[in-house]
Structure 1
Amino acid sequence: TDLEDKDRKLGELEATLMARDEKLAAAQLQQAEFMKQQRALDDEKREMALTIEKRIQEGLDAVRVKARTEAEDGLKMKVAEKEEQIAGMQRQIEELKRRAEQGSQQLQGEVLELELESLIASRFPMDIIEPVAKGEFGGDVLQRVVGPAGQPCGAILWESKRTRNWSPGWLGKLRADQRAAKADIALMISEALPAGVETFDLVDGVYIAHPKCAIPIAIMLRQSLIELANSRLAQDGQATKMEQVYGYLTGPRFRHRVEAIVEKFSDMQDDLARERKATIRLWAKREAQIQGVIESTVGMYGDLQGIAGKVMQEIAGLDVLAIEASASIPD
């Protein structure tokens, strides 16, 4: 009986031990599964953290790039504004320089006019020196020559230039000013002289001289006017109407009148030549356009004849145009 009890208890203990072993194995399996899930969860957390970090980094990079781009754009705009301000200031400086140079040139010209007027007045005290006001017929000084006996002998129109380069347009303007002032002689004093002129010359009816030759040239021209006036005075009262007309025709005023008429006719002739060239060019353009329209019309008429055949009615005018067009085509 004791053995049976012991065997029964031993069996119960073995059964209990087996149950406990099963529970332990199940618990170990659960623990292993839990650890596996824990590792998977940790891996997911780490992956998520890494993804979040990457996204944050990408966002930061995008923000940095955007901020850098905005900063560069803003800097470019500021640089462009500064460059525009600098360019505007440079334009203002150039404009101020130009105005200063113009003012300086104008001031130098006025000083030269005053010096010229003072020099002529001191050298020829008997003559009447009239400074030409701004906006009148032109020139700088009008010298009315007075002879030894107090008789008027003519007038010299002075023009002074202080520039580096010579301009041929000065001569035409001075001749026009001479006619307006009714001066006998036009004299231009300039530091810049035409090509081939060293000190003094007569160019297109205008005397041109360097400033260092101004007074000697003025003495010579003034003496010639006095001698001419004395010659006319000696003949005064002896001349008939024909002689007076001859004197007028051979005098400077008639020459000035004719020169003015010739200059205007030359300008009109130049304008007419330019207008003729423009008209010829326009006619040639219109002729080419009309020829192109004729050729296109004749070609279209020929195409329609080839399609429709004899059904297409003949148009005499187009046949003539086709013949003329074919005759005008070069071989």
Structure 2
Amino acid sequence: MTEPMITCPKCQTDIKLTESLAAPMIESARREYERRLAQKDADIARRELLLRKQEEALSKEKEAIDNQVAEKLRQERARIAAEESRKAKLALTTDLEQKTREIASLQEILKQRDGKLAEAQKTQAEVMKKQRELDDAKREFDLTVEKRIQEGLAAVREQAHKEAGEQLKLKVLEKEHTIAAMQKQIEELKRKAEQGSQQLQGEVQALEIEALLSAKFSHDIIEPVPKGEHGGDVLHRVTSIPGQCCGTILWESKRTKNWSDGWLSKLREDQRAAKAEIAVIVSQTLPKGVETFELIDGVWVTHPRAALPVAVTLRHTLIEVASARQATDGQQTKMEMVYQYLTGPRFRQRVQAIVEAFSSMQEDLDKEKKVITKQWAKREEQIDRVMQATVGMYGDLQGIAGKTLQEIEGLGLQALESPGNSADEMKL
């Protein structure tokens, strides 16, 4: 390791800085540095002491100033309070004087009004007294007049009551007799109308079945059973294209609210009497468990909407049976096959398919019928209300005017009897 070198500033000679040479210099520099540091610390301590003294002086001065300000503020507040108190007392004194003057003025006005009110009350009392005297006199006068009128009208009123009572009694008896006769006649007409309505509904359905079969099977012979004879409603004689008679279907129409099992036995008897191969009942109400059609005890039962599909199927069956009978020339085997076909599931499935197609068409037709029937019923109800109002008004006027009111055609007893006669004629 090389020793540090220093150069002499005067002779420019390099001098090795050995420890013996550098030690006094380092010591001298250290003492100088410590001296300067101690001097600086002393200066700082003096400055801090001076600052603390200045701060204490400032604190004392601030406290003195605050005390002076507080004292001046207290004095100013006291002065302002005294001034405001003086002003308030002065204003209050002025207001009290003004209020006192106003109260005195109001008391004077009130005194004057009390005097006027006393005079007005006295005048009103006198007026009311005179009014009561006038009212008493008027009531006494009215009572006297009423007594005289009552005395004069008593006899006339009694006589009028007697005459009116006798006339009213006669009119009441006459009305009661007329009402009883009309009620009896109305009940009879209702009974006839109900009987005719049920019979007419059945006849209408039978005619509809006849028209339906005639329109669908133009080659067949559709014959209505004469009215009054036993044997169903319509005889349907099935005829093939060559003109061969294949069999007969006996149709019976029922349009009632309830089903009767007695219809089956009766129609079987009619079937035997008519020598028909098949018997069919067309009914709005079907037996329990039957939705559209069913073979019950040898009789086909069907709803009107399925009547045409059933007719098509039964007619086709009769034609096939006749063809099979003609082809086999009395062979029993094919007859048994046809019988098995008629009583088997294939025949029912075919009929069911036909019924479904026709049922859809029938439902559309029923909807149209319901709409038209609803319109007819609405118009009929409106006409009935108009007729009832007219008849009621005519009855009221007739009760007032008596026999002087001219008879109106269509509103008398003869008009009431005519519907019954018409119904009887229609039934015949």
TM-score interval, smaller chain: 0.3 to 0.5
**Bigger radius of gyration:** 2
TM-score after normalising by structure 1: 0.46
